[in-house]
Amino acid sequence: MNEICLLSDAFPPIIDGVVNAVTNYADILTRDGYPVVTAVPDYAGADDSGYPYPVIRYPSLDFRRSIGYTVGNPFNISTIYEISRRDISLLHSHCPFASTYLGRSLREKLDVPLVLTYHTKYDLDISNAVRSKLLQEGALYALVENVSACDELWVVSNGAGENIQSLGYEGDYIVMENGVDLPRARADESQVQAATASLDLPEGVPVFLFVGRMMWYKGIQLILDAMAALKSNHLDFRMVFIGTGTDAEAIREYAASLLLMDKVIFLGALRGRDVLAAWYTRADLFLFPSTFDTNGLVVREAAACGLASVLVRGSCAAEGVTDGADGLLISENAASLSVCLARIMDHPKAMRKLGENAAENIYISWDDAVKKAEERYQIVIDNYRSGKIRKRTGLAHGLFSFSSDLLNAYESIIKGRS
């Protein structure tokens, strides 16, 4: 097999679930002997010198103040030319916007299949980032058209597949779960002490943990309201938040308004997987009442360290979790969460048993996840070459015009704010 080209709208120094997936794909494919090249937006201060594979950066616009990301320009001719000169067997996009536009252009040049992994509910990202209804509708149309144009669609959960179908996608999909890069083991006590010793974490007081982007749509208000209910009932606890995001300041202000600052700890972004593993090991339960996430890598990261999660019943993050066996499931409201926690927080052995079962039942390593992808890559390539996959040619001129106009509009907005 020749090179696998991984395309992503986000890449380090950005840190999120998609970036985690792309970098693990690239690292494990390279280790397993598959040549890899990544094509990602440029980012000020990015240092790509340490990667064991080429990283091709293409021009981008800076939207970090509004949506936390840079937005790449996939229509850059020099980028398309540079990548199309490489000996590529398959294109694998990890975002249905810029990356897939670039992938479609490269497919025209290279005559190789294009796979897309649908990671998250992008319609919610669109509604949060774009206020104009007209632009929202155009972006959703572009999303579905881009997904439909790919040769095979992978989704990280059944819920992710149902989400894209609800937006108008009519094709098939394959569930290809993401893994986690933490080993299945609790952190050493010395690591836990180093990460947590300076903080107010009294012995015997339960510690609840959230890891992720600090955005309201992650269910964070629900968590804080539940903490307020526990405090009003004179129950002692500590609630630790790890992560950053555009709502971080508002979330802190809301916690202060609930008089929770003696119970809640905001750590911001933490660097180092060992530090994160230490927190997963120190906590008693992982709280992740998000109905936005389509997979919830952090739920499996927690399970790797023997930490069970509290999740919303029916959410994508709760897929594969059995209530009372390897996790706890609640309704999507603060009362349900507070009642659930009040019932179990005085039973550390029960919480530990749930965590042990989570490690056994729901943990998936990145090695296993990428091994499955490697096997599927060859099937896709064979199907494409044999004609089982209908080759798609031609790009919608009107759609590309809309996308170019959208990028120009974004650029005008950014320049107006600077």
CB 10 within 8 A of CB 40: yes
Q: What is the pLDDT of residue 43?
A: 87
CA 83/CA 27 separation, integer angstroms = 19
Please indicate, yes or no, whether residues 73 and 148 belong to a single structural domain of this protein: yes
Query: Hey, what are 327's tokens?
Result: 């996790």
Average pLDDT in the 402-418 region? 44
CA angle 73, 409, 103 (to 5 degrees): 25
pLDDT digits (tens, 9 = 90+) for 98-148: 999 999 999 999 999 999 999 988 887 777 777 788 888 888 898 999 999
pTM: 0.80
For the chain, the average pLDDT equals 90
* Residue 346, helix vs strand vs coil: coil
Q: What is the DSSP letter of 186?
A: P
Bridge partner residues of 60 (DSSP): 72
Specify if 184 maps to a domain. no
Q: What is the pLDDT of residue 15?
A: 76
Please indicate, yes or no, whether residues 123 and 86 belong to a single structural domain of this protein: yes
Boundary residue ending a domain (338, 363, 388): 363
Q: Peptide bond before 41: cis, by omega within 30 degrees of 0?
A: no
CA 19/CA 11 separation, integer angstroms = 5
Task: Tell me the percentage of the chain whose pLDDT exceeds 90.
Answer: 75
Bridge partner residues of 242 (DSSP): 211, 268
CA 293/CA 231 separation, integer angstroms = 28
Q: At what angle do helices 348-361 and 297-304 cross, to 10 degrees?
A: 110
Domain total of the chain: 2
Please indicate, yes or no, whether residues 16 and 153 belong to a single structural domain of this protein: yes
Boundary residue ending a domain (333, 363, 393): 363
Residue numbers of the domain that contains 159: 3-179+367-417
- Residue 204: how many CB atoms within 10 A of its CB? 7
CA 95/CA 366 separation, integer angstroms = 19
Specify if 263 maps to a domain. yes
Side chain identity, residue 240: V
Please indicate, yes or no, whether residues 314 and 393 belong to a single structural domain of this protein: no
pLDDT digits (tens, 9 = 90+) for 47-74: 999 999 999 999 887 666 655 567 778 8
pLDDT digits (tens, 9 = 90+) for 352-395: 999 999 999 999 999 999 999 999 999 999 999 999 988 776 55
CATH number of the domain residue 194 falls in: 3.40.50.2000
pLDDT surpasses 60 at 1: yes
Q: What is the pLDDT of residue 417?
A: 33
Bridge partner residues of 39 (DSSP): 7, 56
> In which residue are the tokens 């609800």 written?
166
β-bridge pairing 264-268 and 285-288: unpaired
CA angle 348, 337, 261 (to 5 degrees): 80
Least confident segment among 28-42, 110-124, 395-409? 395-409
Q: What is the pLDDT of residue 122?
A: 82
- Residue 190: how many CB atoms within 10 A of its CB? 9
CA 415/CA 418 separation, integer angstroms = 5
pLDDT digits (tens, 9 = 90+) for 302-352: 999 999 999 999 999 999 999 999 999 999 999 999 999 999 999 999 999
Q: What is the DSSP letter of 94?
A: S
